[in-house]
């Protein structure tokens, strides 16, 4: 009995090695696919982007969930905390995203009352901006509000139509129906606050936010011939590699068939059987 078992062991070894090769194929194919897809750039109109953005040819594993880009009639758009923005510019060196709220591109009456809020785990504020609050559904504006800062907005099922602007992120209080705050440029704010056409233009110019990504980790990955993506469980930067592996930060070197065996007495063919590329 013992001799028969030992006589089968070489065949069992070959079977195990072949079986291991086959179970690695789906992972390798997946990594190769992501390597190719994540090297593609998102292109729409005059906007192009790669990591940490995804969308339109770049699957979700190529970027941060909150940074999905959409292309509509050659216009790049992004939805952040249920608010639709038009993407005006992407600066990868500074990690700056310039966006403008779509609902305020056509006037002061938004279709929904949603503040411009951003996940602090993904975004951080940029110096030079302050919040401006639009307050809606009031019987009358406070007496200290300059006339250009007062406007009329009809809201469904709300009788009062007076609205006004206030500096800062504030609520509507008891006298008004609702409020929405939006970042505006501090440098343009003083003049535009008393000039409605200028303020409307500032809203179209948009504002900047900075995305928070480990830039050094991604550079380490690309310098090793890999491409950056996102690990779906941890939401951390991961490296997809040409040698069908997935590294945490960088791609491992590919073993050469002519390299010296790692184990004394083992030739290159035996080494490759144990360590398939």
Same domain for 82 and 169, yes or no, is yes
The DSSP bridge partners found for residue 86 are 77, 100
Same domain for 134 and 220, yes or no, is no
Listed residue (251, 62, 122, 104) closest to 192, CA to CA: 104
At residue 127, the 3 state secondary structure works out as coil
- Number of structural domains (the chain) is 2
**% of the chain beyond a pLDDT of 90:** 45
Instruction: Give the torsion sign (CA, 155, 156, 161, 167).
Output: negative
Using 70 as the pLDDT threshold, list the residues of the chain that sit under it.
Answer: 1-32, 188-194, 244-247, 253-277
Inside any domain, residue 50: no
Instruction: Give the torsion sign (CA, 124, 85, 117, 130).
Output: positive
Inside any domain, residue 54: no
Same domain for 94 and 184, yes or no, is yes
pTM: 0.76
Same domain for 22 and 96, yes or no, is no
Q: Beta-carbon neighbour count of residue 32 at 10 Å? A: 14
Q: What is the pLDDT of residues 113-161, one digit of tens each?
A: 899 999 999 999 999 998 999 999 999 998 888 777 889 999 988 999 9
Same domain for 141 and 231, yes or no, is no
Same domain for 93 and 223, yes or no, is no
> Can you tell me the distance from the alpha carbon of 215 to that of 253, in angstroms, rounded to the nearest whole number?
22
């Amino acid at each position: 009995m013992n001799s028969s078992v030992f006589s089968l062991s070489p065949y069992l070894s070959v079977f195990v090695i072949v079986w291991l090769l086959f179970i690695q194929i789906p992972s390798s194919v997946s990594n190769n696919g992501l390597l190719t897809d994540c090297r593609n750039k998102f292109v729409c109109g005059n906007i192009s982007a790669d990591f940490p953005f995804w969308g339109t040819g770049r699957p979700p594993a190529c970027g941060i969930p909150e940074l999905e880009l959409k292309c509509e009639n050659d216009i790049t758009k992004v939805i952040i905390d249920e608010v639709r923005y038009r993407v005006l510019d992407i600066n990868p060196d500074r990690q700056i995203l310039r966006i403008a709220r779509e609902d305020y591109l056509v006037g002061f009456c938004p279709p929904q009352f949603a503040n411009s809020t951003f996940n602090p785990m993904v975004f951080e504020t940029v110096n030079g901006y302050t919040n401006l609050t639009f307050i809606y559904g009031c019987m009358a504006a406070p007496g200290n509000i300059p006339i250009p800062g007062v406007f009329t907005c009809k809201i469904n099922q709300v009788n009062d139509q007076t609205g006004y602007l206030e500096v800062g992120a504030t609520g509507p209080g008891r006298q008004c129906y609702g409020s929405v705050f939006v970042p505006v440029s501090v440098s343009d704010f003083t003049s535009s606050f008393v000039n409605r056409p200028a303020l409307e233009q500032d809203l179209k110019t948009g504002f900047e936010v900075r995305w928070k990504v480990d830039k050094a980790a991604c550079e380490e990955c690309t310098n090793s011939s890999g491409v950056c993506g996102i690990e779906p469980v941890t939401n951390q930067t991961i490296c997809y590699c040409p040698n069908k592996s997935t590294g945490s930060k960088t791609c491992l070197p590919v073993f050469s068939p002519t390299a010296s065996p790692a184990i004394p007495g083992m030739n290159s063919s035996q080494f490759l059987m144990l360590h398939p590329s």
